[in-house]
Amino acid sequence: MSNYPSEITPSEGERLTEVIKDWALAHGLTVRPPPAILPAEVDPIGILATPVPVTLFPSPFPRVCFDEAIKVQKAYNELYASISQDEAFLARIVKEIGDSDDFIQELWKVHLRVKEEGYVQHKSLGLFRSDYMIHQDNTGSRPQIKQVEFNTIASSFGGLSSQTSLLHKYLSLTEYPLLENSIQRGALQLPENESAVGLAAGIRHAFIEYGPPSTSYQKCIIFLVQGGERNIFDQRHLEYELQKSQEPQIAVFRLPFAEILRHTTIAEGPGRQLFYRPPQLPSHTFEVAVIYMRSGYGPSDYPDQSAWEARYHLERSAAIKCPTVLTQVAGTKKVQQVLATPETPSNPSILPNYISKDSASVSNLANTFTNIYPLDETEAGLRARKIAVDPDLCKSYVLKPQREGGGNNIYRSAIPPFLKSVPESHWPSHILMELITPPPVKNTILRNGKLEHGGVICELGIYGVCIWDQQSKTILHNEQAGYLLRTKGDQSEEGGVAAGFGCMDSVNLV
C-alpha cells in the first residue's frame, strides 16, 4: 500500500482540484456551506452549495477485508432485526444503562406507552450501516476487518457515497492517466457501489409492504429531517431514486422533526393511519406509509416534552417506521458491547440466541468484533474500570457513550480525567473499546478548496436493508446495499463527515 497513491506536483494538484470541484457541483456531491466558510446571513434562503470534502484518489483497501464485510452484512441485518424483536433483552439493556442516560430512558418510555395501548404496525424497516476499520498488529500480519459500530438510525451518506465512487471512476478514466506518475486506465480495482439505489429500494419495499391505502388518500413516504440540514443532498439522492419508480409511483415529502405535530394527524379508530398535509399544498392529504428518520437520533432533537410527544405520535401510528424505538435502542453501544465482550464460562456469547446455531454466520460475525467492555460492576466491568483509570493502560482504548453522530467519544489519555469529572454512577452508560490499529495509508484530501496531504485512516461502512414482522418474527426482505468509505487525517480521532472531521472516499481494492 505504501507506494500508492504517488506524489503529485503542485500544478497537478491545481488541475485535480478544478476538475473535482466542478464534477462535484455538477453531480450533487455537495453539502450546504458550513458556517466557517459562509455565515448563514450571507445565504438566508439556502441557494448555495459547496463540494463535499473528498480524497483525490480512492484509498487502498484490502480486498479480503472488503469481501468479508460485504459477505457478513446480511447476517448483521438478521442479527439486529432479531434483537429488535427481543423486548426483554432490550429492557435489560435500558436498565443497565441506567438513569445516567436520560435520552435512552425517555425513548424507552415512548415504547412502553405504545405497548400499553397496543401496536397497530408490526412491520419494521431497517436501513443499517455496519462500520469497520482495518486492524493490523504489524506490517507482516494479515489485515483483519473489525467493527467500530453498528448504526440503526439515520445511517447517512448512502447518496453521496455512490457519487464519490462515480467521481473516482471518472478521474481514473480521464485524469490519472495524464499524471507524471501515471495510473493507467483499468489499473485500479474500483468496485461498483449502488448505495443510493440499494437504500432507496429498501424504502420502496417497505412502501409496498404497507399495502394499499386504507383510506381514500394517496400513500406517501416522509423523510423526517432536522431543520437547517447541511447534508441535504445526500438525502435528496435517495428521494430522487424513489421518485424514479413508475410502479408504484411514490410521493416523497420532507418534514422537519420540530413540525411533526403541526402537519400530521392520526385517524380516530383502531387503524391509527397517519395523515400528512403538506404546508405548501393544503388541499392535499396523504396517508403516510413509511417514515424514514434522518433525525431523532440525539437529545438535541428533543428540546422539550412536545418533541417526545411527537415521537410517541409517530410510534403509535400505522406507518412503517425506520426505525422503531425498539430498533433504535438495539443500536446503542451497550448492545454492541454485550455482543462483543469476550466470552468466559460465566459469560457465554448471546449470538446463538439470534442467529441459527449451525450457521457459519455466528463465527463470521464474531470474527469482526473487537474487544469491548462494560463499565458496570460485573467481573468484566471491574476489569475495564481498572484499565480506564490507569494513565498508561487507557492509551489503547476509547470511551463511548450511547450516542450517534461524531464528536462524542473520549480517547486514550483523556479517559481518566473524564471519568473523574462525572459521578461513578454514570460510568455504566459508557462502554470501553479497544482501539483498532489500522495500517499506514496516505492520500490527499480536498476540503473547502484546499489540499491536505499526509497519512490517513479509512473507515468502511456496509449498508444493509431489512424488513421484518415483529409479530410473526419473520424477515420479509434482507439485502446488502452498497458501501461507504470515510477517511480522515491520521491525527484526527473522530471521522464524521457532516460533523466536520472526515471526508468522502472510495476503495481501490488491493
Residues noted as catalytic:
129, 149, 151, 156, 333, 400, 404-405, 486
Burial class for 412, CB neighbours closer than 10 Å (0-12, 13-18, 19+):
middle
Q: Given the C-alpha cell 420532507, which residue does it identify?
A: 254
Distance from CA of residue 260 to its chain's centroid?
23
Question: Which residue spans within 382-421 are E strands per DSSP?
Answer: 397-400, 410-411
Helices and strands of the chain, counted as H and E runs: 14, 21
> In this structure, what are the phi and psi dihedrals at residue 150, rounded to the nearest 5 degrees?
-120, 125
Does residue 191 have a cis bond before it (omega within 30 degrees)? no
Of 3, 167, 71, the C-alpha closest to 510 is: 3
Handedness of CA 241, 80, 333, 390 (dihedral sign): negative
Of 274, 272, 266, 298, the C-alpha closest to 107 is: 298
The amino acid occupying position 342 is: P
Give me the residues paired with residue 451 across strands.
446
CB atoms closer than 10 angstroms to residue 199: 29
Q: Given the C-alpha cell 424514514, which residue does it identify?
A: 292
CA distance 379 to 120: 41
CA distance 407 to 270: 43
Question: Any idea what DSSP says for residue 370?
Answer: -
The three three-digit cell numbers of residue 17, written as one number: 482540484
Who contacts 282 (Cβ-Cβ below 8 Å, separation ≥6)? none
165-177 burial by CB neighbour count: b if 16+ within 10 A, else e?
A: bbbbbebbeebbe
> In this structure, what are the phi and psi dihedrals at residue 378, rounded to the nearest 5 degrees?
-75, 175
